[in-house]
A and B are shown apart, each in its own frame.
Chain A
Amino acid sequence: MPYIWLLIFFLAPFAIIFKISLADPIIAQPPFTPSFNDAGDFQGTADNFAFLLTDKLYAITYLKSVFMATIATVLCLLLGFPMAYGIARASPATRSLLLLLVVLPFWISFLLRVYAWMGLLNNYGVINNALMWMGLIKQPLQLMYTDLAIYIGLVYSYLPFMILPLYATLERMDLDLLDAAQDLGASRTQAFWDITWPLARAGVIAGCLLVFIPAMGEYVIPYLLGGPESLLIGRVLFDEFFVNRDWPMASSVAIVLLLLLVVPIVFLQRSQAKNAEGAT
């Protein structure tokens, strides 16, 4: 039963996207021509893909999305790893409270969390007001509608996705190994890189992928926090669809995005399958 449900509502749509991505746009309802005529002959076109590959704007957008998602992932890791480490090493009672505090924002509407940052980063927002009040700056800093704002939004929204898998691996780790390493004369840094890091690697990989993949297709954060020139691929897709009403183009954009993400997604599933086997 769920199998059929998924087949209908998950797999079939992709076939349709693919079909429409080959179609020509026409201004009608629905706005595309059929790619197969009644006799079943193929009469679609690969124009959309050709355009996608030759047009500089799209290439730049894809690259920029990959770039920004990567930076956001690295920032999440830099902040998330010490946090997960600290949580995993805390006493059990504090640990559960600290975890709750990480998970809590995740339950609060994503949109509202991004909205909260709009209030902070605004030209007359909290941060600028505070800085001006302290006399550090005379003019409000332009914080909203910048790439910096997008990074903040991405890291803020996806930090729990990084912390939780990291915590899971760090918590399972056998602390005696560290003691043993130090008894054998390893320095703390050495012990960290030789023992903690390799053991945490599964968590690092899972966390990075869990941040990177959704960050690639992010629409709301660049729309609300980024400026009009911050074209990321999720936003291009959305606009192509809702503003230009060019459904075939939007479908093509989606297919290419999907192809870009297939590698990390398969990778994630592999590592998770391995984890599951290791756990049982």
Chain B
Amino acid sequence: MKARSRFVLSMLVFGYAFLYIPLLSVIFYSFNDSALATVWGGFSTRWYAQLLQNRQVLDAAILSLRIAVTSATLATIFGTMAGMALTRFGRFRGRTLFTGMITAPLVMPEVITGLSLLLLFVSLQQFIGWPSQRGFSTITIAHTTFAMAYVAVIVQSRLVAMDQSLEEAAMDLGGRPFRVMFDITLPLIAPAMVAGWLLAFTLSLDDLVIASFVSGPGASTLPMLIFSKVKLGVTPDINALATLIIVFVSVGVVLAWLVIRRAQRKTG
């Protein structure tokens, strides 16, 4: 009994160390004064100052944020509709194909999704002249496509778990389907939609491969910019940028966690 739990415990410690040591080391070295990324030269915040003056980085960050907000919003709308269609409409024509199309982007290797979307955009351009330029719009479409699958899955599981009698009661009391949807269903699945939006937002901010495929000259997102720098090796200003992102994301996730836990305590 003892030996077993000690094994599990040591694996847990090892696993968490494995997950967090790399991140902590990046944060640590971002305050390194030395220009050589891995030699400690004293504490300094000069890389942060340098980062804030770098127009390229700021532009890329803004582009990434714009794409992430737009595609997350679109993905939430479409994903919610898809999730509802899957749980409430019962059987309809092409349902199997539809389910397949929802789940496939979740697991499809990014290189394939990216390549196929780019080829689509190229042929569209040949036939109807749009999109004449690849950049913001093409990346947004691409991100919406794969993110809506995630949203659909989250919304779907929430709808499945939801008490359907509430909707039925509202209908019995004379609510029109549309009213019922806006007064009952949507508020109930709102947490799932928020979670889906956040996930879509992060996925979009995170994506490198698909964006590299469907982007054109002149439009590079933050991950694309980081990747082109990282190829050349470890540099202190990327350490600083990484630290900012890590801290920002961690604070966001921990806050979200606390909010959810409080909400659960209240209801539970």
Is the Cβ of A13 less than 8 Å from the Cβ of B230?
A: no
A interface, size bucket: 35 or more
In the bound complex, CA of A257 to CA of B112 (Å) = 8
Is the Cβ of B234 less than 8 Å from the Cβ of A122?
A: yes
CB of B219 closer than 8 Å to a CB of A:
no
Of residues 9 through 51 on chain A, the ones whose CB sits less than 8 Å from some CB of chain B are 9-14, 16-17, 20, 30
Is the Cβ of B116 less than 8 Å from the Cβ of A254?
A: yes
Where chain A touches its partner, the secondary structure class is helix
Is the Cβ of B119 less than 8 Å from the Cβ of A113?
A: no
Segment of A55-63, A102-110, A197-205 in the binding face: A102-110
Where chain B touches its partner, the secondary structure class is helix
Given A156-B22, A254-B115, output 13 extra A-B contacts at Cβ < 8 Å: A3-B98, A6-B102, A12-B120, A30-B126, A105-B23, A115-B226, A126-B25, A217-B111, A220-B227, A238-B111, A250-B115, A265-B104, A265-B108
Of residues 80 through 133 on chain B, the ones whose CB sits less than 8 Å from some CB of chain A are 81-82, 85, 94, 98-105, 107-112, 115-117, 119-120, 122-123, 126
In the assembled complex, 20 residue pairs joining A and B whose CB atoms fall closer than 8 Å, in A order, are A2-B82, A6-B148, A17-B119, A82-B12, A82-B15, A96-B261, A101-B19, A107-B249, A108-B245, A116-B242, A119-B29, A120-B22, A124-B39, A156-B18, A156-B19, A216-B109, A217-B109, A242-B212, A250-B115, A251-B115
In the bound complex, CA of A104 to CA of B231 (Å) = 25
CB of A166 closer than 8 Å to a CB of B:
no
CB of B21 closer than 8 Å to a CB of A:
yes
Of residues 193 through 250 on chain B, the ones whose CB sits less than 8 Å from some CB of chain A are 202, 205-206, 208-209, 212-213, 223, 226-227, 230-231, 233-234, 238-239, 242, 245-246, 249-250
User: Which residues of the other chain, B, contact A247 by a CB distance below 8 angstroms?
Assistant: 119
